[in-house]
Amino acid sequence: MKKYEIIQESKISFRGRELFRIRATKSFGKVAVGDIGGYIEKEENMDPNLKISGNSWISGDAKIWGNSRISGNAKIWGNSCISGNSCISGDARISGNSCISGDARISGNSCISGDADISGNSCISGDAKIWGNSCISGDARISGYSRISGDAKIWGNSWILGDAKIWGNSCISGDAEISGDAEIWGDELITQKVCTLTTELRTITFGNQIAIGCQRHALAEWENFSDKEIADMFDDALAWWKKWKEVILNMAKIALIEKK
């Protein structure tokens, strides 16, 4: 028995295609018989066979069309739009006004929300979360517990891994690799691998500038800060800085040499 049926009389015209609402014909997961779902173009978008498409479901005003597919326990709701050849699987969650297109792959426990735009050959996996106005494209890979938000843009062959956090107006491109506990924010433009150093109080990120917690400054500024300026940055900053200053400045100089 099929898990849903297409409601032929409930259709809309959207971007030159006819999309149809669906209705559950059996209970599965948190879906009950008779529940009204979102819009699909054809059964290939979400196989009606429960054994093939699992507990996946589309609801609200979410739409899926083209050669895109949803399977596993994936859920799509809100005003989300899924198109192209994109695949949504695993326990992925897509909501808000998110747009997934191209050959994008969303899997694992990934959550995409807000006005996020995922396209190209992008792959989002693991426990990654992307929201805000973030744009992910090209061959970008986002995985682990990464968090992408704000107006961040990631494209090219960029890899975002581990517990990395990208927000603000940051742009990550080229062969950039952001991993570990790295935090990139503001107007940073990163095109290469970013190094991080984790200490007992703070994680240091060596990008175009040196970021320590919420403090981000050029190498020359860190070299010339007075003890008072350091002490005012955060609790126990001065004792910590005296312990790690030489290591941090040396790593920063090496990172700058590698970028040239």
pLDDT digits (tens, 9 = 90+) for 105-139: 999 999 999 999 999 999 999 999 999 999 999 99
pLDDT digits (tens, 9 = 90+) for 43-94: 999 998 888 889 999 999 999 999 999 999 999 999 999 999 999 999 999 9
Query: 170 by DSSP, 3-state: which?
Result: coil
pTM for this prediction: 0.80
Contacts 24+ apart (CB under 8 A), 57-65: 57/24, 57/29, 57/31, 58/22, 59/35, 62/38, 62/94, 63/14, 63/19, 63/38, 63/39, 64/38, 64/39, 64/40, 65/14, 65/15, 65/17, 65/19, 65/39, 65/40, 65/41
pLDDT digits (tens, 9 = 90+) for 212-237: 877 888 889 999 999 999 999 888 88
Topology (CATH level 3) of domain 109-192: UDP N-Acetylglucosamine Acyltransferase; domain 1 (2.160.10)
What residues does each domain of the chain span? 1-99, 109-192, 194-260
For the segment 193-200, the average pLDDT, to the nearest whole number, is 77
